[in-house]
């Protein structure tokens, strides 16, 4: 039996389930501050890693090149909130190593591939990727149901169509309502699941349940965290996704520190 299969299939005793804590806005501030500190402490490594994410954004845009790209630009930008936790795996690892006083050379970011829980990490990551592509498909369907298959001639035409017509207002309301549901589901799945999997050899179900329990124990605080993440990712996505080279590393490091605040250390 492979290590990955063993990690995925082996049940974890109830006594080994993570204990979650109550957290507040002060903990979010702490996590963001520590995330920024990690970013500045490892700038060479973070620039190397951060440049990956604008490329991912442009590749995702190319996936819809055969269609009218304009209607999907906002869903693509918003979709980073869904896959961002998986994309930031290397950043969690660097923060973990810095916290432990270990080597934080950029090659160490790829130690995640040697993690005992890598099979579980891949499983949760695949779940988020499926969720992302379902979101893009649903967003496209909402647009087509609202405006049909006619494409906008230019960005000004598209913005005028969305912002100055009853159909556009309906698209904004429905699209944001559905997007909110996807965002909540992604947050429930991934709030602390990936840092937990890097920190302890647990399975994907345990990691996801821990994330769900953190969100349920701290609904208002985690809702605020979701708003912060989505807002920063949207800002970073506007200039051709280039801002993500800074936003994603800071949020990635901050997520590790948020995990430390939200989950009791292992005994």
For residues 61-66, give the mean pLDDT: 54
Looking at residue 16, its pLDDT comes to: 63
Q: What is the mean pLDDT of residues 250-266?
A: 93
**pLDDT of res. 23:** 96
Query: According to the model, what pLDDT value does residue 57 have?
Result: 61
pLDDT of residue 236: 76
Lowest mean pLDDT among 22-36, 39-53, 117-131, 197-211: 39-53
pLDDT of residue 60: 60
pLDDT for 128 equals: 93
HEC assignment per residue over the chain: CCHHHHHHHCCCCHHHCCCECCCCHHHHHHHHHHHHHHHHHCHHHHHHHHCHHHHHHHHHHHHCCCCCCHHHHHHHHHHHHHHHHHHCHHHHHHHHHHHCCCCCCHHHHHHHHHCCCHHHHHHHHHHHHHHHHHHHHHHHHHHHHHHCCCCCCCHHHHHHHHHCCHHHHHHHHHHHHHHHHHHHHHHHHHCCHHHHHHHCCCCHHHHHHHHHHHHHHCHHHHHHHHHHHHHHHHHHHCCCCCCHHHHHHHHHHHHHHHHHHHECCCC
């Amino acid at each position: 039996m492979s290590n990955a299969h063993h990690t995925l299939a082996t049940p974890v005793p109830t006594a080994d389930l993570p204990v979650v804590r109550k957290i507040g806005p002060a903990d979010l501030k702490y996590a963001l501050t520590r995330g920024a500190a990690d970013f500045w402490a490892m700038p060479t490594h973070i620039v190397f890693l951060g440049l990956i994410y604008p490329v991912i954004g442009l590749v995702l845009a190319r996936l819809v090149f055969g269609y009218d790209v304009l209607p999907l630009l906002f869903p693509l930008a918003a979709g980073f909130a869904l896959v961002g936790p998986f994309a930031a795996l290397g950043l969690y690892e660097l923060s973990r190593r810095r916290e432990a006083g270990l080597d934080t050379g950029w090659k160490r970011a790829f130690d995640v591939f040697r993690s005992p829980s890598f099979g579980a990490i891949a499983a949760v990551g695949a779940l988020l990727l499926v969720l992302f592509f379902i979101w893009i498909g649903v967003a496209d369907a909402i647009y087509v149901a609202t405006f049909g298959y006619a494409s906008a001639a230019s960005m000004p035409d598209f913005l005028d169509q969305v912002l100055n017509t009853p159909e556009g207002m309906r698209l904004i309301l429905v699209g944001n309502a559905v997007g909110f549901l996807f965002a909540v589901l992604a947050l429930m799945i991934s709030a602390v699941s990936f840092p937990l999997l890097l920190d302890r050899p647990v399975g994907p179900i345990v990691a996801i349940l821990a994330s769900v329990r953190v969100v349920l124990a701290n609904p208002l605080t985690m809702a605020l965290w979701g708003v912060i993440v989505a807002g920063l990712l949207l800002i970073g996505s506007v200039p051709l996704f280039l801002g993500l080279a800074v936003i994603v590393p800071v949020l990635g490091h901050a997520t590790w520190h948020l995990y430390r605040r939200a989950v009791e250390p292992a005994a």
